Structure 1
Amino acid sequence: MRILLFIVLFVSVCEFARCANILAVIPSPFFSHQATFRPLWIKLAEKGHKITLITTDLMDPNENITQIDYHGAYEVFEKNSFNNLLKKGLNIFEALLSFKDLMRSNMDYQFTHPGLLEMLENNKTFDLMLVELAQPGWPLLSYKFKCPFIGLTSMDTYSSVHAAVGNAVHPALYPSADAGFGEKMTLKDRVLSTFIMVMGEAVFKFVFTPFTDDYVKMLIGNDLPSTDEMWRTMSMLFVNANPVFFPSRPMTPVTINLGGGLHLNKPRELPRDLQKYLDESKHGCIYVSFGTTVNSAYLSAEQKEIFTSVFKDMAPMRILWKFDEVNIANKPKNVEIRKWLPQQDVLRHPNLKAFITQGGLQSMEEAIDSAVPMLGMPFYGDQNNNVNKMAHKKFGLKLSPKEMTKETLKAALKEVLENPIYKKNIDKLSAISKDQPMKGLEKAVWWTEYVLRHGTQHLRSPSADIPLYQYYFLDVIAVLAICAYVMYKLTKYLFLSLVNVVRKLFNCFIVKKKKE
């Protein structure tokens, strides 16, 4: 018994020794970004790792997770009219310039937060940092905390981040998601995509990044390296890109595609009243949600009236609507509106026949998981791109909110509900998305601990460290072009010289003949 007890204690001590002190940072004030990675924090905590989590939306208490509340970032974004900027439909260049004041206010809040300052003042160190790359400045903190870092993104990431770890970057094959190009790009699309990528990256690299780097250095220390330098020290990049929406670009070993759906939970019981409402929807039910960011302020009175009028005409089919305006005018009897709904479990109910969505990536992944056809109504950002791909693959339809009328909305819903092609296609995609050798969460946990055990310098691709002119063979093309030009000039010179010699000989021959 003593030997057995000693072995148990020894194994426990060894297991404890492998547990790490991890800093996790998701600073974006969007609930979907927070929800995507929550299962990862919980799983790492279950394995004994100590997590310090910087988040805008606090989780349920966990003895191995210390949370630092950054919820004030929502107020910062609201004060700087972030929602108004989104509604304008800015392109990538206008967005980068318009967000400058927003980012300054955001960095003022984030990098002077008492929770962060306390860690810096106490010279806190960590074994590893997992940080979302959507907000500027945060990767620089891994230098302060003397630890490697893993970059996180809840969707596909910027071309500059892919390039930093050596992944393929090509404007015709992998265009910016915010540009909203279709599945098959025309010549015009490819030219525009190249312009967007080149100019967007130039603005990002030479305007936006220097500005944010200088501002962060002013707030927390001038000894920090640049963002470009830090990205190139990234131990690993976790991209949560569902292959349904993003093409499988060639990626280096330090990039792990979690495959989307990281946030998907196991089925849970619905609240009793909600279960009763859906069970009694014998003629079917349509679920409506525009995510956590798009609220009633995005919809005009005319658009709201279109929805209520069309929904009324669809009775006895029921409508379940997640919306902040619960007491909307002229609400029909067959419409139930709630401020919050357990979306994943609502979508799993067998009486759910269609989902009207803004085209957010996580919402669409949940609908694919439950095999529910969609009507996509994109408002901003990557939503247009996501909905375009949905329409191209025919597991849903697209309807622009700006172009919506009673007739177009009614026709679109009729098509999604009655044409079996949409249900057939999403059933197939659902089966494909679930048929994986390892779930995204398992991959994320395994590779996180791999970085803790070994680091990833041995996995780094040489493509990450060569300049773009070498990556695209521009220097080789230049040498070949110069050689071709030299050969052309030399051949032309020799040819002309030969012609001159022949001409002179011919003239001499003619002169000689005349003398004779």
Structure 2
Amino acid sequence: MQYLPQLTVLLLFSLIACRIESSNGAKILAIFPFTGRSQYICGENYLKALAARGHDVIVISAYPQKKSIQNFTDVSLIYENDLFEEYIVDSEVLTLSKWEELNFAIDYLTPSTRKVLEHPVLQKWLKNGVTFDLLIVEVLQQEALYALAYHFKALLIGVSSFGTDMRIDELVGNTSPLSYIPSTTSHLTDQMNFRERLENFYIHVLEWIHNRFVMLPAQYELYKKYVPTPTAPFMEMRKNFSLVLLNQHFSMSLPRPYVPNAIEVGGWHIDHKPSKLPADMERFINAAPKGVIYFSLGTNIRSRNLSAKRRAILMEVFASLKQYNILWKFEDPKLPGKPTNVFISKWFPQSDILAHPNVKLFITHGGLLSTIEAIHHAKPVVGMPVFYDQHLNVARSQQKGFGVSVNFRSFTANQLKSAIVEVLENPKYAKRAKEISQLYHDQPETPVKKAIYWTEYVLRHKGAPHMRVAARNLDFIEYHNLDVIAVLFGGPLLALLVVAWVSCKLLKAIAGRGNVQRKKEKRS
């Protein structure tokens, strides 16, 4: 009882401090519009951390919280169907050309933009003049949503679940030399020969053309339809970013240049203390004689949509690995012919699974979140990339020596088993996974703390305009100095052409006079 007055005073000061922090918190709107669960997972810890620090966070997404969180409000997006639910990977994604793949992005991204813009809550805010201090939005070709920051009088922060690409580079004036930075949708690394650099250049040009003449016009049409007529140009509003937070880190990708307001926060979605596994999963993992293999194609590709042929190959291979137990993310409750050493579930706590010491291998589609989690927990991988950045991520795992790749288009039982046995029985892969994991973990602060620091830095400094490079305001010709090159090289070249033209005229004139003189001499 003697400590009661002191405790009361301490509690009172704590409450006052909390109240002050809350009153100084920013009013934040975050938009994560996609049906892919992994894209929301990418930023979820970050948003919760902002709320925990007293900021008032409103989130528009398809994944509302199941439990109430202080300072955290959900505005739910309800989709009638999931684009990937009917996504048959065997027949569609494997036959798309690069241009068709870019068009598929429109089919996936544009409905998400529309779903947000037509939402009655957002429409009410636009009509009532509601304002926010900060708008956080995923920078995945959602230009109509970026422009909302202008209407809400908000600062703008972008979140990228995969790092940067040419579209994100344009938003902040970042530079990505094509000679050693591969396109996100390629299978290339930073060590490219001439043919690969030519391929990388081709992909970049194709993406630029598609973005400029297909995607941007589609986004602008949505913006005009759902947003009140602005006084600022659309192309300017979409580039008013104070900061972009990139789910990447040089230890697992490549060292490369960034402008000051492009910040790497790779792995910020991972809770650093693993949670306890469900009892049935724990028992199954501990019962494996030589360890466990975890197999998942991620949240967008469903194993249940695989062809009967591919499922049969997978089950044949898993059944032959008798000394190992296999966890398989399979979305149906039953799998006919399932081997006894296979445990299926429509959901696994993936990061917690990979944290278990008896899990020896991760067979993955190569999504970036999965790749980061493999590195975080030092697990080697067998990659089976299907689309978008998965090919690039698996290529990097091979280059860095902690994984091998299997062709998802045409793999056979022998090819898959050989890859699994190679990674499991050759210690160099596990050793390399540990080395890269150590490089990744050697950071002065956790990725989510870094993200919070820079977010609040931008808020403190009213958008931090001093961090923005002038390149973001230059057009293509100015950015690449094509006008200067034209003057420096075009001027002298034009002068030479003029001199050559005049010289030709003079020579012809002189020659003509000579001919006339000779004719006169012949006549005389």
2:251, 2:439 within 8 Å by CA — same for their partners in 1? no
Consecutive unaligned residues in structure 2, runs of 5 or more? 508-524
Whole-Å Cα distance in 2 between the matches of residues 107 and 275 of structure 1?
41
Q: Is 2:333 the partner of 1:323? A: no
Which amino acid counterpart does residue 357 of structure 1 have in structure 2? T
Q: Could you tell me which residue of structure 1 aligns to residue 518 of structure 2?
A: none
Higher mean C-alpha displacement, 48-57 vs 201-210: 201-210
Q: Is 2:23 the partner of 1:17? A: yes
Q: Could you tell me which residue of structure 2 aligns to residue 313 of structure 1?
A: 320
1:91, 1:179 within 8 Å by CA — same for their partners in 2? no
Q: TM-score, normalised by structure 1?
A: 0.88
- Residue 409 of structure 2: SS of its match in structure 1? helix
Whole-Å Cα distance in 2 between the matches of residues 85 and 475 of structure 1?
47
Q: Could you tell me which residue of structure 2 aligns to residue 44 of structure 1?
A: 50
Whole-Å Cα distance in 2 between the matches of residues 103 and 353 of structure 1?
36
* Of 408, 423, 426, the match for 2:433: 426
1:236-247 equivalent positions in 2, closer than 5 A: 236-247=243-254
- Residue 81 of structure 2: SS of its match in structure 1? helix
* Of 416, 422, 438, the match for 1:409: 416
Which amino acid counterpart does residue 476 of structure 1 have in structure 2? V
Q: Is 2:287 the partner of 1:280? A: yes
Which amino acid counterpart does residue 94 of structure 1 have in structure 2? E
1:311, 1:335 within 8 Å by CA — same for their partners in 2? yes
Note closer, same or farther for the CA distance 1:174–1:87 as it changes in structure 2 (3 Å cut). same
Note closer, same or farther for the CA distance 1:89–1:151 as it changes in structure 2 (3 Å cut). farther
Q: Is 2:131 the partner of 1:125? A: yes
1:151-204 superposed Cα distances (whole Å, 9 cap, x missing partner):
111112331321231211332222321122244222222222222212321221
Q: Is 2:507 the partner of 1:460? A: no
Q: Could you tell me which residue of structure 1 aligns to residue 41 of structure 2?
A: 35
Equivalent pairs, count? 499
Note closer, same or farther for the CA distance 1:210–1:82 as it changes in structure 2 (3 Å cut). farther
Shift of 1:460: 1.6
Q: TM-score, normalised by structure 2?
A: 0.87
Whole-Å Cα distance in 1 between the matches of residues 295 and 109 of structure 2?
32
Q: Could you tell me which residue of structure 2 aligns to residue 340 of structure 1?
A: 347
Q: Is 2:113 the partner of 1:90? A: no
Q: Could you tell me which residue of structure 2 aligns to residue 291 of structure 1?
A: 298
* Of 391, 413, 421, the match for 2:398: 391
1:77-134 superposed Cα distances (whole Å, 9 cap, x missing partner):
3599697996245344223334545555444433212232232233221111111112
Q: Could you tell me which residue of structure 2 aligns to residue 55 of structure 1?
A: 61
Note closer, same or farther for the CA distance 1:101–1:85 as it changes in structure 2 (3 Å cut). farther
Shift of 1:363: 0.8
1:217, 1:223 within 8 Å by CA — same for their partners in 2? no
Which amino acid counterpart does residue 339 of structure 1 have in structure 2? K
1:312-342 superposed Cα distances (whole Å, 9 cap, x missing partner):
1111321111111342222111111111111
Whole-Å Cα distance in 2 between the matches of residues 331 and 177 of structure 1?
36
- Residue 340 of structure 2: SS of its match in structure 1? coil
Note closer, same or farther for the CA distance 1:285–1:200 as it changes in structure 2 (3 Å cut). same
Shift of 1:469: 2.4
Whole-Å Cα distance in 1 between the matches of residues 86 and 418 of structure 2?
38
Note closer, same or farther for the CA distance 1:343–1:101 as it changes in structure 2 (3 Å cut). closer
Higher mean C-alpha displacement, 471-480 vs 44-53: 471-480
Consecutive unaligned residues in structure 1, runs of 5 or more? 500-516
Note closer, same or farther for the CA distance 1:311–1:115 as it changes in structure 2 (3 Å cut). same
Q: Could you tell me which residue of structure 1 aligns to residue 174 of structure 2?
A: 167
Q: Could you tell me which residue of structure 2 aligns to residue 111 of structure 1?
A: 117
Q: Is 2:201 the partner of 1:215? A: no
Whole-Å Cα distance in 1 between the matches of residues 236 and 418 of structure 2?
53
2:182, 2:190 within 8 Å by CA — same for their partners in 1? no
* Of 470, 476, 490, the match for 2:484: 476
Note closer, same or farther for the CA distance 1:81–1:296 as it changes in structure 2 (3 Å cut). closer
2:88, 2:306 within 8 Å by CA — same for their partners in 1? no
- Residue 170 of structure 1: SS of its match in structure 2? coil
Q: Is 2:371 the partner of 1:364? A: yes
Whole-Å Cα distance in 2 between the matches of residues 64 and 89 of structure 1?
46
Shift of 1:254: 1.4
